[in-house]
Amino acid sequence: MKPIRLMSGFFTVGIWTLASRLLGFVRDIMIAAFLGTGPVAEAFLVAFSLPNLFRRFFAEGAFNMAFVPMFSKKLEGDDGAHQFAQDAFVGMTVLLTGFTILGIIFMPLLVTAMASGFIGDARFDLAVAYGRFAFPYILFISLAALLSGVLNATGRFMAAAAAPVLLNVIFLIAIIGTALWGSSTQEAQSHEVGNALAMAVPVAGIAQMALVWWAAARAGFPLRLRRPKMTPELKRLAIIAAPAALAGGVVQINLLVGRQVASFFDGAVAWLNYADRLYQLPLGVVGIAIGVVLLPDLSRRLRAGDTEGGQNAFNRACEISLALTIPAAVALMVIPYPLVSVLFERGAFDATDTAATAIAVAIYGLGLPAFVMQKTLNPLFFAREDTKRPFYYALVALVLNAALAIGLAPYIGYIAAAIGTTLTGWATVLLLWNGARDMDGAARFDARFKRRLPRILIASLGMGAILWAMAALLSPCFAIATLRYGALLALVLSGIISYFGIGHLVGAFKLAEFKRSLRR
């Protein structure tokens, strides 16, 4: 894949991911307004996180990272790519159907493992009930992830990137429909919205799977349910995927540790969730887009022996990632309170919730560049079918995160979970980068990257100073309901204009590069 095609693929995925995350913001704003940070909100958030936790374990974090390089190799060699994808599709369907049934049966144990602080109050029974509705989502979304891997390997990014939009659209329909035709009292309406959201989860999974299945069929890969069979290729896939699955499992245990810590502080599960949504916007748009596009590209270059091209692709991915996420990180650290206040503070979400969420946003912001760099470093290993070392690094991260989150919680409360996540993110980057240094220079930063990175930092710090001054100037407006939306818009626009203006002047990037990629 040529650099311009790599960039156009990144922007295709990034733009659709941005659309999904913006709709996700609207969704979370409405959830915060109707549910606040009360028992129904925390129960639903834990229930919804369960299938998502295992989705990353089975599909995105493990299976796809092993599947895409193998499928790409067969695709270019015209060596049974369709049959390989078909066998993997059937195998995953059988495996996850059984796992879904077990999850529904043992949901009380899963909720205990996720949030033992819920035991003994109303949140536990609600989380179990919501979890049983939501858990089948893991089957449909994991199959959608496999189909997305097929599409991405063939250079078709749009449908896979657009599929998450459906989740947020269906959630919004559920919330609005319940609000319009449900009960008039706040408590009854809160429970009705929670029930509607839980039932909407598997519906959204079916919709997402249907979209990417249709796109894959149009691309020449119509995958269907058949009798499962264990082939030599599937055995090799399982051998490669197992360490990645374990690594993905360790990453999810890190999230589990944070959730467990938060469950012992009333409202903290919701505070961390809403903070997570804010930093996930740039992480999703940039990090996920880079990871999705970079892995197939690196796999092709490795098979072609194009070491120099692979190094260039890695450097350009790092460059564009940091050029977009370092300023986002600075913004999250400088203006977390205005962001949270305007986006979430209404209805059941009050000023206390805003203050608690804003602290978590600032801490997550500090770790944002690390979370994105992991997305660029992991493909270096997975493209080489090396899934063992990321697993070992993840184990180290697990121990560090548990020590920080659990050890600090008695002294600083729920925020220990956010600190553990951020510091662990940076530790993981150092481990991955150190491990990749022996890959024939694949992780070596070139002269262009070294020249531009300090300039990106200068532009970001300059933008941060302007944001801080603008936030102080506009602070009276944030207290007035009719003015706060315009004030936030002015704040965001000032940040965008100042960053790209300073960045262009100091040579952090060339605006023409962004324009060319967007046109394509």
384-414 tens-digit pLDDT:
777 778 878 888 888 999 999 999 999 999 9
Coil/strand/helix, residue 3 = helix
- Given this model, what pLDDT does residue 2 score? 46
- Given this model, what pLDDT does residue 169 score? 92
**Closest alpha carbon to 462 in 414, 510, 495:** 495
Helices (DSSP H) in 288-387: which residue ranges? Answer: 289-303, 307-334, 336-344, 351-382
What gap in Å lies between CA 313 and CA 34, rounded to an integer? 45
- Given this model, what pLDDT does residue 226 score? 80
Q: Is the alpha carbon torsion for 359, 500, 17, 68 positive or negative?
A: negative
- Given this model, what pLDDT does residue 231 score? 79
- Given this model, what pLDDT does residue 520 score? 47
- Given this model, what pLDDT does residue 515 score? 60
**Closest alpha carbon to 128 in 203, 197, 198, 196:** 198
What gap in Å lies between CA 294 and CA 314, rounded to an integer? 8
| The pair of three-digit structure tokens given for residue 366, joined into one six-digit string | 């500090």
The residue type found at 286 is: V
What gap in Å lies between CA 473 and CA 469, rounded to an integer? 6
**Closest alpha carbon to 20 in 333, 288, 291, 338:** 288
Give residue-wise pLDDT tens across range 450-490: 999 999 999 999 999 999 999 999 999 988 888 888 999 99
| The pair of three-digit structure tokens given for residue 101, joined into one six-digit string | 């049934």
- The per-residue b/e assignment along 154-183, b for 16 or more CB within 10 angstroms, e otherwise, is bebbebbbbbbbbbbbbbbebbeebbeebe
411's CB contacts (< 8 A; 6+ apart) are none
Three-state secondary structure of 428-465: HHHHHHHHHCCCCCCCCCCHHHHHHHHHHHHHHHHHHH
**Closest alpha carbon to 277 in 40, 39, 5, 41:** 41
| DSSP per-residue letters across 16-76 | HHHHHHHHHHHHHHHHHHHHTTSHHHHHHHHHHHHHHHHHIIIIIIIIHHHHHHHHHHHHH
Site of tokens 């939501």 = 134
| The pair of three-digit structure tokens given for residue 319, joined into one six-digit string | 């460059």
Residues of the chain with pLDDT under 50: 1-4, 518, 520
- Given this model, what pLDDT does residue 6 score? 54
Q: Please classify residue 447 by burial: count the beta carbons closer than 10 Å to its beta carbon, then call 0-12 exposed, 13-18 middle and 19+ buried.
A: exposed
Taking each continuous run of H as one helix and of E as one strand, the counts in the chain are: 20, 0
What gap in Å lies between CA 349 and CA 36, rounded to an integer? 4
Coil/strand/helix, residue 71 = helix
- The per-residue b/e assignment along 95-104, b for 16 or more CB within 10 angstroms, e otherwise, is ebeebbeebe
What gap in Å lies between CA 218 and CA 29, rounded to an integer? 36
- Given this model, what pLDDT does residue 250 score? 63
